[in-house]
Amino acid sequence: MNRKKGDKGFESPRPYKLTHQVVCINNINFQRRSVVGYVELTIFPTVANLNRIKLNSKQCRIYRVRVNDLEAAFIYNDPTLEVCHHESKQRNLNYFSNAYAAAVSAVDPDAGNGELCIKVPSELWKHVDELKVLKVHINFSLDQPKGGLHFVVPNMEGSMAERGAHVFSCGYQNSTRFWFPCVDSYSELCTWKLEYTVDAAMVAVSNGDLVETVYTHDMRKKTFHYMLTIPTAASNISLAIGPFEILVDPYMHEVTHFCLPQLLPLLKHTTSYLHEVFEFYEEILTCRYPYSCFKTVFIDEAYVEVAAYASMSIFSTNLLHSAMIIDETPLTRRCLAQALAQQFFGCFISRMSWSDEWVLKGISGYIYGLWMKKTFGVNEYRHWIKQELDQIVAYELKTGGVLLHPIFGGGKEKDNPASHLHFSIKHPHTLSWEYYTMFQCKAHLVMRLIENRISMEFMLQVFNKLLSLASTASSQKFQSHMWSQMLVSTSGFLKSISNVSGKDIQPLIKQWVDQSGVVKFYGSFAFNRKRNVLELEIKQDYTSPGTQKYVGPLKVTVQELDGSFNHTLQIEENSLKHDIPCHSKSRRNKKKKIPLMNGEEVDMDLSAMDADSPLLWIRIDPDMSVLRKVEFEQSDFMWQYQLRYERDVVAQEEAILALEKFPTPASRLALTDILEQEQCFYRVRMLACFCLAKIANSMVSTWTGPPAMKSLFTRMFCCKTCPNIVKTNNFMNFQSYFLQKTMPVAMALLRDVHNLCPKEVLMFILDLIKYNDNRKNKFSDNYYRAELIDALANSVTPAVSVNNEVRTLDNLNPDVRLILEEITRFLNMEKLLPSYRHTITVSCLKAIRVLQKNGHVPSDPALFKSYAEYGHFVDVRIAALEAVVDYTKVDRSYEELQWLLTMVHNDPVPYIRHKILDMLTKNPPFTKNMESPLCNEALVDQLWKLMNSGTSHDWRLRCGAVDLYFTLFGLSRPSCLPLPELGLVLNLKEKKAVLNPTIIPESVVNPQEPVASANNHGQSVGFQSTFSNPQEEEEIDMDTVHDSQAFIYHHLNMLERPSTPGKEQSSGEITMHPVVAAPLSVFSKESNSSKHSDHHHHHHHEHKKKKKKHKHKHKHKHKHDSKEKEKDPFSFSNSPASARSIRSPSLSD
């Protein structure tokens, strides 16, 4: 708890050290979805008076705990089950977020806490004082887990193995506690023995080496024994059981792949590439893969596409593909490479605390980037970096900053570094999923910045050092305390960087790691002909949310007639203008070639440029060595030169985006030239298509010739003899394939003067569909066909509606009829000849929604709802759900919103549940400042319940619910709720209480806590203002104290909290104010409780002492309760009400 950040090494927050853990699962029942087993933890006390052992455990029903074979009493208390209590009528998100962070921190293993508190039997106290080993043996079972372990049991005939039933562990960050009791921290390492007894037809895949497989006595089951001798955190333990097909990698026999029945051919193809990734990482890290074996398991209904655990990775089965599939291949390979990078950094090397997470994510992301560069080439790599940079910049500017290395001083809310967010960033489990994704993205970009600074060679040396230290440590016995070498911390990482490189990267770290925000540059220039100087002006916006000020070097590249020159400017506080001397005299000998950055010399047509200036184009921060957004102004011809002649793909992409603003024939020509250039990177060409479409639309009145891209497409992909017929498909050249796919989609965005898609274009696309012939192709054309449908959808324009007539077949636009004809046929053909990943169905559903939205087809969610049902392929479901979400928004349908929320509750697939919330957040039916019939009290209550207690089994889902709540209602009390009747306003965020200013004009200063004004939530009825006499003020004031104290109390002593809700009433220590309807009764109650709190206030310290006594009494009282409960076998389910306290029956007085 009082761990200090520093280089003193790792200090465990626990009064003991875990050295070894046994997990034994004796029985897995697929029918009932239950698991029975035990764990045994070997721990060494590190303090003499250890009498309580706190462990993590969620959902598990714990039968019995023994410490060194002695029965031990235990308390099971999980405040995250229900964050705020029933009686609370609080509905503001600020309150919730704080309470949630407090609840998570109350069980946070990194703070030495846990849900399960085991009392060391008094017989062992002496033993403990000698710091001798303790063995904690816990019998547990898990019944229909809602998180942590996911069962997939297809509903059909046959045995479980025949059905392909399987189960696997999953979760977001450290979620192992969901399926067995453990210290669920990335920093508590130990060795493992894992045993799983499963049906003889099944295979259990887990971490470490499979030592042996033994039949049970009846020969109907077998037990898999695994040993993991490399110290590993519980959070990196995983499991997958199912009737898997086994494939031993033909190149590396230590590597084994598993997939579900019938998919073996796909598995063979998909994993045939993996050994190259292995080779790559081992080579750059000059380090062997740390584990003795590696397993990949491909499972259905995956929680995430890739999950890395010690010596194994769990992938979504949907990544598997055959040799005929083009589009999925690079994506899957990326996933494999990502998983493998995390094996080194993330699994083998773990982190000390949550604030060091960025190092692991950064390094694994960075080496994954190196792999990308090597595999897909520099262009793809730079394109990817640009994409990631744009993403993080957009996110930070939208939400106000991503902090990589949060430092929390003493847990005070005041110095919360992320006050702009609606969630706490103190714990991984309180983070919004999107934030976490962006966090990972930023982490690897920052690693790249460090590399820019210290060179790649040093960077790799640092990694190698970390790895070799860890692997030395991993082979040590636990007593040597070397294991903490396997944990990485920010300070340790920075130290080894400075040791290896001898460079000071502190400013860089301060800027990007310790601080959130990105840089926003605005650049413009003027050329001073007399001085032959380029006057560059660079402004920064560092006042908007999510931005920060940048001071330091900034590279500017200027392409002149005489060549390309790099200049490093010093960005300082007040200097906006920078003079850059030019090398070339303006206009000169036309014949001479112009040298480019890469040494290439090219001929250019210089007629477009300004005769007075030698400048061709200017780029700011071309290497992306600052996390920034640059808005640079230069003339259109400069962008055009940049597009044509700059060889960097990032520059080309930037030029394309800039050219959108210059719809001129010259831009058109530049774009068309790029499109035709075979040497140009295919993604640039694809981007050029869309830009060309936009330009054509802006130039619609002056456009000459056939629609944009049509003749180009004809030339490239149609038959020479009959230009209206496309060649039979041959996708051997992937660049042309991608272009062929994209061009129709972009063309369909063309609009004529009436803002309709030109008939010619529509016919052209329909012809492409008609003449599409894939018979002689080596590859599947499913993605191509899907994009043709997307193209059809793109061509749809809003229907001309005559006084809101009902959409029927008769008034269907003839063009739309043609489109609909195709969609119908495609969708129906999918039923007979389904395409890979049902890409065509997905596109058809999207297209139908577009038709509905544009008023051609009656808007109706029924079709989508049927495709969204469980049992359809996940991509199809997502597409259908997206349409329903959109319908909910457009038609403001309460019924559909309810349907979606029910699905969030009940759907068997965690990913779908998560995705629905995600889509609702991105495309909300209403937002906080909007009037909507959907926004009502029932919905508020429903969502509140969802995030408060309905999603306690899945961190990601709960955070998703919080995000949605935030989008719909904002941070404060939802406006649709009736006004609160208490005059008191509690600003929980700053832990200050204020009286509602409508009641009392000036804020009341509290003797104990300063009262802040403003930022209050909720409007109050004015009744109390009539009573605003001194006494009343006094009373309310005391109330303030009382409540805030209750909150602090609640916050700090979460675990010491009474174990049943009942106690709260009896002790009177925590009392939430009941909202009472009648003003008069409020008044009387107010005074009552305030007296009480008054008392409490004065005897604050005494109370704390008393509390323990109270607690004891309650234990006694409680035992009866729980005994009674245990008579009823169903009493302790996982429901928040009953699970708050489960006491061992063996507890003796």
**Segment 174 to 213, residues that bind another protein, using CB under 8 A:** 200, 203, 209-213
**Contacts of another protein in 27-56 (CB under 8 A):** none
Q: Does 380 bind another protein (CB under 8 A)?
A: yes
Task: Examine residue 714 and tell whether it contacts another protein (CB under 8 A).
Answer: no
Beta pairing class for 34-45 and 134-143: antiparallel
Least Cβ distance, residue 641 to another protein (angstroms): 22
466 contacts 133 by C-beta, under 8 angstroms: no
**Contact residue for another protein among 534, 874, 940, 961 (CB under 8 A):** 874
Contact between 382 and another protein (CB under 8 A)?
no
* List 18, 65, 234, 266, residue binding another protein (CB under 8 A): 266
How many Å apart are CA 273 and CA 285, to the nearest integer?
19
- CA dist 615 and 533 (Å) reads 10
- For 1092, the 3-state DSSP assignment is helix
Pattern 809-838, binding to another protein, x per CB under 8 A? x----------xx--xx-xxx-xxxx-xxx
Read off the tokens for 488. Answer: 């990485």
Q: What does the alpha-carbon distance between residue 1055 and residue 106 come to, in Å, rounded to a whole number?
A: 6
Binding segment for another protein (CB under 8 A), chosen from 112-120, 806-814, 943-951, 1124-1132, is: 806-814
Amino acid code (one letter) for 565: F
Whole-number Å distance between alpha carbons of 423 and 537: 38
Start-to-end CA span in the chain (Å):
31
Q: How many residues bind another protein (CB under 8 A)?
A: 107
Phi and psi of 686, rounded to 5°? Answer: -65, -40
* Residue number with CB closer to another protein (570 or 824): 824
* List 30, 682, 783, 1132, residue binding another protein (CB under 8 A): 682
User: 1026 in helix, strand or coil?
Assistant: helix
Q: Which residues contact 133 (CB under 8 A, 6 or more apart)?
A: 42, 43, 44
- The least CB distance from residue 152 to another protein, in Å, is 9
Q: How far is the CB of 863 from another protein (least distance, A)?
A: 5
Contacts (CB under 8 A) with another protein, residues 659-678: 678
Side chain identity at residue 559, one-letter code: Q
720 binds another protein (CB under 8 A): yes
- CA–CA separation, 211 and 734 (whole Å): 45
Residue 407 buriedness (CB in 10 A; 0-12 / 13-18 / 19+) = exposed
255: β partners:
294
Of 40, 71, 143, 254, the residue at the interface with another protein (CB under 8 A) is: 254
Restricted to residues 525-554, the positions that interact with another protein (CB under 8 A) are none
Q: Is 222 in the site for another protein (CB under 8 A)?
A: yes
Select from 34-42, 601-609, 801-809, 938-946 the region that touches another protein (CB under 8 A): 801-809
Pick from 344, 525, 637, 681: which binds another protein (CB under 8 A)?
681
Segment holding 903, helix H or strand E: helix 894-906
Does 361 participate in binding another protein (rule CB under 8 A)? no
Binding positions for another protein, 755-784, rule CB under 8 A: 770-771, 773-778, 780
- CB closer to another protein out of 120 and 239: 239
Q: Give least dist CB 293 to another protein, A.
A: 8
The smaller minimum CB distance to another protein, of residues 241 and 984, is found at 241
Question: Considering the complex, what minimum distance in angstroms separates the CB of residue 237 from another protein?
Answer: 18
Q: Contact with another protein (CB under 8 A): which of 633, 860, 895, 937?
A: 860
Distance of CA 620 to the CA centre of its chain: 31
- Contact between 1085 and another protein by CB under 8 A: the answer reads no
Q: Which of 231, 229, 307 is nearest to 486 (CA)?
A: 231
CA dist 711 to 71, 249, 483, 724, Å? 83, 48, 66, 10
260 binds another protein (CB under 8 A): yes
246 is a contact residue toward another protein (CB under 8 A): yes
Considering only the stretches 1-9, 695-703, 713-721, 1042-1050, report the one whose residues sit in contact with another protein under the rule CB under 8 A. 713-721
Segment contacting another protein by CB under 8 A, of 377-385, 600-608, 669-677, 1066-1074 = 377-385
To another protein, the closest distance from the beta carbon of 654 in angstroms equals 19
Instruction: Report the C-alpha gap between 842 and 880 in whole angstroms.
Output: 8
Residue 386 CB, nearest approach to another protein (Å): 16
If binding is defined by CB under 8 A, does position 869 make contact with another protein?
A: yes
491 Cβ contact partners less than 8 Å away, ≥ 6 residues apart:
5, 6, 7
Q: Which is nearer to another protein, 200 or 1048 (CB)?
A: 200
Largest CA distance in the chain: 101
Minimum CB distance to another protein smaller for 456 or for 732: 732
Backbone Cα Rg of the chain: 32
- Single residue of 103, 320, 500, 995 touching another protein by CB under 8 A: 320
Contact status: 154 vs another protein (CB under 8 A):
yes
Residue 907 structure tokens: 């759907």
Q: How far is the CB of 487 from another protein (least distance, A)?
A: 29
The tokens describing 365, both together, are 């992301």
Q: Of 323, 890, 1004, 1075, which one interacts with another protein (CB under 8 A)?
A: 323
What is the closest distance, in whole angstroms, from the C-beta atom of residue 640 to another protein in the complex?
23
CB neighbours of residue 1072 within 10 Å: 17
**Among residues 734, 894, 899, 1027, the one that binds another protein under rule CB under 8 A:** 734
For residues 108-127, which are near another protein according to CB under 8 A? none
Cβ nearer to another protein, comparing 829 with 1004:
829
**Partners of 64 in the beta sheet?**
139
Buried-state track 280-303, b at ≥16 Cβ within 10 A, e below 16: bbeebbebebbbebbbbbbbbbbb
Q: Does residue 606 belong to the site contacting another protein (CB under 8 A)?
A: no
Q: What is the DSSP letter of 414?
A: T
Question: Among residues 46, 216, 1066, 1081, which is the contact residue for another protein, using CB under 8 A?
Answer: 216
In terms of Cα–Cα distance, which of 829, 816, 874 is closest to 317?
A: 874
Q: Which residues contact 1142 (CB under 8 A, 6 or more apart)?
A: 61, 62, 76, 1122, 1132
Pick the closer one to another protein by CB: 137 or 465.
137
Q: Does 808 bind another protein (CB under 8 A)?
A: yes
Q: Which is nearer to another protein, 877 or 1143 (CB)?
A: 877
Which residue lies nearer to another protein by CB, 323 or 394? Answer: 323
Task: Report the 10 Å Cβ neighbour count for 929.
Answer: 7
Window contacting another protein (CB under 8 A); options: 28-36, 176-184, 215-223, 1058-1066: 215-223
- The distance of closest approach from Cβ of residue 256 to another protein in the complex, given in angstroms and rounded to an integer, is 5
Asked whether 327 and 781 are in contact (CB, 8 A), the reply is: no
Q: Binder to another protein among 539, 727, 759, 1104 (CB under 8 A)?
A: 727
Stretch that binds another protein, among 316-324, 348-356, 622-630, 1031-1039 (CB under 8 A): 316-324
Which residue from 1008, 969, 1089 is spatially nearest to 91, judged by alpha carbons?
969
Residue among 364, 391, 376 nearest 330 (CA): 376
Residues 6+ apart with CB under 8 A from 1004: 995, 1011, 1033, 1036, 1037, 1040
Regarding 220 and contact with another protein (CB under 8 A), the answer is: no
Q: Is 34 helix (H, G, I), strand (E, B) or coil?
A: strand
Contact between 804 and another protein by CB under 8 A: the answer reads no
From the list 244-252, 530-538, 705-713, 1040-1048, the region that binds another protein by CB under 8 A is 244-252
User: Which tokens is 92 given?
Assistant: 């503001």
Helix (H) or strand (E) holding 221: strand 221-233
